[in-house]
Amino acid sequence: MTTSIVDVHSHWFPPEYRAALTEVRERYGPCESLDRALADERVATIPEFTDLDLRGRLLTDAAITTQILSLSTPHVWHPDVSARRRLAEAFNDGCASAHGVDARLLFLATLPLPFVDACIEELRRVRWLPGCAGISVPTHVDGVGWDDARWTPLLEELDRGGQTVLVHPDGFCARGLLTQYYLDWTVGAPFEDTLCAMKLVHSGIIDRFPRIEWIVPHLGGLVPMILDRVDRIWALNKEKVGGEYPPSQGLRRLAYDTANTTPQTLRLAAAVLGADRLVFGTDFPYIDRHDLARPVRDIYTEFADAGQILAGGPLSIRKESVR
């Protein structure tokens, strides 16, 4: 059994961030996404979100040696750049403090999107925070995809640093189709993963910024099931779609985490994308809240090269602050 197990996909709400949500509303005024974040009772009712001692015991029981924290939804799209700066700094500093308490906890910093200049400033600041292992961004920025030209300066900065970047759903909902039955998360979130991966490839982002290490969560959503279809449609519509090579080639250059999966879906993703593109992720504490060992066991059961997947697969996981 491997001695290094890295969970690249887990969530936490630092107390500094939770306090900053209230502070921002009082100082800068409300907005719809901020109100949603403040009304989210999961943080208050689920101790795994807030109790580092409990999290530490679960990590020990599962033999997970490194867990990388990132911000969960909803992202707050406050129109005031100062509000966004405050929230990003509170989250990142809170995660650095958690690393000081438990060195097994690293984090993917959040950025004050959509304000590009402020994002670059925060990115340069967090590189020196203890425990920073990369960046996490939503799959879309309040509806704007990563193929939009406005993000070019930020992507250039991420590329220069060779950053690991996890994309994560932020609550996709097609009105009239996904508004009921919690379909925005059961179906919408995998759509977000899929759409983001496809846009990174079709737009040429992965070619223009080759040093960014992208992680797409949940095995890429629908990517393993539609890969052949994507290539066939591309071949029939090259002039409209664009691109010099079949999209599957680009999609196989991304990394995909194993969160929210079953043995059957793990086998599918490995067969279609390649086991070498998989990295271990749990989506804790949303999934396997009381038994982090279950997803570890699944990887050992399904893969002869389990050690590579559990240790971070193709990623350059940073053990200290990103420089």
Percent of the residues in the chain that have a pLDDT greater than 90, as a whole number: 75
Look at the pTM and tell me if it is higher than 0.85.
yes
Express each pLDDT in 131-141 by its tens digit.
Answer: 999 999 999 99
Contact 257, 299 (CB under 8 A): no
Q: 275: how many CB neighbours lie within 10 A of its CB?
A: 19
Distance between CA atoms of residues 109 and 136, nearest Å: 6
Q: For residue 178, what pLDDT band results from cuts at 50, 70 and 90? A: confident
| pLDDT greater than 70 at residue 317 | no
- Residue 307 pLDDT more than 90? yes
The least confident of 62-66, 129-133, 147-151, 184-188 is 184-188
Of the listed ranges 119-123, 149-153, 181-185, the least confidently predicted one is 181-185
Q: In what order do the strands lie in the sheet with 213-216?
A: 6-11, 66-70, 105-109, 132-138, 164-168, 213-216, 255-257, 278-279
Q: What is residue 6's DSSP assignment?
A: E
Give the tens place of pLDDT for each residue, 11-67. 999 999 999 999 999 999 999 889 988 887 766 678 888 889 999 999 999 999 999
Q: Assess if CATH 3.20.20.140 describes domain 6-310.
A: yes
